[in-house]
Amino acid sequence: MAAVSEAGEAKSDGTGEARVLLEVRDLARDFDVSRPWLNRVLEGAPRQVLKAVDGVSFSIRRGETLSLVGESGCGKSTVARLICGLYAPSRGTIVFDGQDMGAVASREEMLRLRRRFQMIFQDPYASLNPRWRVGRIVAEPLRAHGLLRDRAAIAKRVGELLADVRLAPQDAEKFPHEFSGGQRQRISIARALSSNPEFLVCDEPTSALDVSVQAQILNLMKDLQREHGLTYLFISHNLAVVSHISDRVGVMYLGRIVEIAPTRELFRRPLHPYTQMLASAVPDITMSGKARTPVAGEVPNPLDPPPGCAFNPRCPHANDRCRAERPALADFEGAQVACHAVQERRIPLAPG
């Protein structure tokens, strides 16, 4: 899918394919969750390290929406925060529009780079300052990046942004508590758009909203993507939401990506056993009678993950190789999957 710039020009690499805007290579983030030093000395306890993200790699083309899905604790929100610079990676590389973000030397250069992407947070009640009026909230990136300085110009731009998210310019004088949850998330989107970004990281932006409001926000985000040529990294645990907004989907389990595929292909023919379990958990309103694989077992303790494939304790297809050797993410019939059973064709798959 070719992206469209503000000038209306397609941004591609000359082959008809949209250029890669974001590339993540072997990204990892460890958290030291050890008890205090004196406790460890007295009790003889070792240091404990939580591998929240453990070697994640993917790329996103301009104008595309890539979604990351998985159970709570799989590391998808940590990936979002690493990309936005809220966490520093323990390992790996983040390349934005050809520039390695870890190699940026000056603060000014980093600010110019970060102006090109923004984040929409999960909770619209916690992400907005309750003591600020909406106009000041939306204008904060404009002032922080020095994009506008004249008060009248800022007020005009804030009114345009509120209109873009289907709110009234007069709402700039109100406080966040005067709005519903869906309206607050619209304000968050307006704030994210105020610096004219190319890339938005959306960390479960609809999970705290009612179902009907979720649909409104998702449709708004798709409209804004078409109007402004935006690129999205969309984080969610809701497969129905993901199927509506995504071009491609990456499935995460215990800090690693186990499958990446185009949205239609992933829902039509999930490859990894974990993806199959997630798809089976979605209610079948058509009453098709299709065989379903129940989601069984519990996510292992991330402080003590199992050897080999992290999913092997819950997988009905696991063998000795799965319990000893961790599979790498590899190409398989138009998708990427990290599963020995799939690569060895031990799992019956639907026709391609």
On whether residue 172 sits in a domain, the answer given is yes
H or E stretch covering 6: none
Q: Residues 133, 231: one domain?
A: no
Q: Residues 204, 185: one domain?
A: no
Distance CA(153)–CA(176), nearest Å, equals 23
On whether residue 219 sits in a domain, the answer given is yes
On whether residue 310 sits in a domain, the answer given is no
CA distances from 216 to 32, 113, 117, 185 (A): 40, 31, 23, 11
Distance CA(155)–CA(215), nearest Å, equals 29
Can you give the pLDDT at residue 8? 37
What b-and-e string marks burial along 14-53, b requiring 16 or more CB atoms within 10 Å of the CB?
eeeebbbbbbbeebbbeeeeeeeeeeeeeeeeeeeeebbb
Distance CA(340)–CA(347), nearest Å, equals 10
User: Which of 263, 284, 305 is the last residue in one of the domains?
Assistant: 284
> Each residue of 66-116: pLDDT tens digit?
999 988 888 999 999 999 888 999 999 999 998 898 887 788 888 888 889
> Each residue of 295-342: pLDDT tens digit?
667 788 888 889 999 999 988 889 999 999 999 999 998 899 999 999
Please answer whether residues 61 and 18 qualify as being in contact, where contact means their C-beta atoms are separated by less than 8 angstroms.
yes
For residue 46, what is the DSSP state? P
Q: Residues 22, 156: one domain?
A: no
On whether residue 204 sits in a domain, the answer given is yes
On whether residue 294 sits in a domain, the answer given is no
Residues of the chain with pLDDT under 70: 1-17, 282-296, 350-352
For residue 135, what is the DSSP state? H
Distance CA(220)–CA(121), nearest Å, equals 16
For residue 143, give its domain range. Answer: 123-196
The backbone torsions φ and ψ at residue 36, rounded to the nearest 5 degrees and listed phi first, read -55, 155
Q: Residues 212, 100: one domain?
A: yes
- Among 320, 274, 271, smallest CA distance to 299 is for 274
Q: Residues 84, 206: one domain?
A: yes
DSSP letter string, 324-349:
HSPPPPEEETTEEE--HHHHTT-S--
The backbone torsions φ and ψ at residue 263, rounded to the nearest 5 degrees and listed phi first, read -55, -50
Q: Residues 108, 206: one domain?
A: yes
Sheet with 49-61: list strands edge to edge: 49-61, 20-32, 91-96, 99-100
On whether residue 349 sits in a domain, the answer given is no
On whether residue 63 sits in a domain, the answer given is yes
Q: Residues 88, 236: one domain?
A: yes
Q: Residues 51, 172: one domain?
A: no
Domain count, the chain: 2
On whether residue 295 sits in a domain, the answer given is no
User: Which of 196, 229, 257 is the last residue in one of the domains?
Assistant: 196
Task: Give the global pTM.
Answer: 0.86
Q: Residues 97, 13: one domain?
A: yes
User: Which of 256, 284, 312 is the last residue in one of the domains?
Assistant: 284
Q: Residues 236, 107: one domain?
A: yes
Q: Residues 15, 90: one domain?
A: yes
Can you give the pLDDT at residue 44? 84
- Among 307, 302, 319, 312, smallest CA distance to 272 is for 312
Q: Residues 234, 166: one domain?
A: no
Q: What is the CATH number of the domain that holds 44?
A: 3.40.50.300
- The torsion defined by the Cα of 199, 200, 201 and 205, in degrees rounded to 10, comes to -160
Radius of gyration in angstroms for the set of CA atoms belonging to the chain, rounded to a whole number: 22
CB count within 10 Å of CB 79 equals: 29
For residue 275, what are its two tokens? 């993806």
The backbone torsions φ and ψ at residue 117, rounded to the nearest 5 degrees and listed phi first, read -140, 150
